């Protein structure tokens, strides 16, 4: 037996770039990515911990 799942709604890269609040994000490959300069490894670790 095969479970069927519906695919999430998709938007084009252009629609994504034109969306509000995505200034720090870039469309690469098949998804959106963001890079955040933290200034230090310790600050980067705190950011990762805060994201979960």
Query: DSSP string covering the chain, please?
Result: -----PPPP---HHHHHTSTT-TTEEEETTEEEE----SSHHHHHHHHHHH-
- The answer to whether residue 10 sits within a structural domain is no
User: Model pTM greater than 0.75?
Assistant: no
Domain span at residue 23? Answer: 17-51
- The answer to whether residue 25 sits within a structural domain is yes
**How many structural domains does the chain have?**
1
- The answer to whether residue 6 sits within a structural domain is no
The pLDDT value recorded for residue 20 is 95
- The answer to whether residue 12 sits within a structural domain is no
CA 30 to chain centre: 11
The pLDDT value recorded for residue 35 is 86
Is 1 a residue whose pLDDT tops 60? no
Summarised one tens digit per residue, pLDDT across range 3-42 is 666 666 888 889 999 999 998 899 988 889 988 899 999 9
């Amino acid at each position: 037996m095969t479970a069927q799942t519906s695919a999430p709604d998709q938007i084009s890269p252009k629609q994504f770039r034109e969306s509000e609040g995505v200034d720090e994000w870039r469309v690469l490959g098949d998804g959106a990515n963001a890079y955040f300069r933290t200034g230090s490894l310790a600050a980067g670790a705190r950011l990762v911990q805060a994201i979960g």
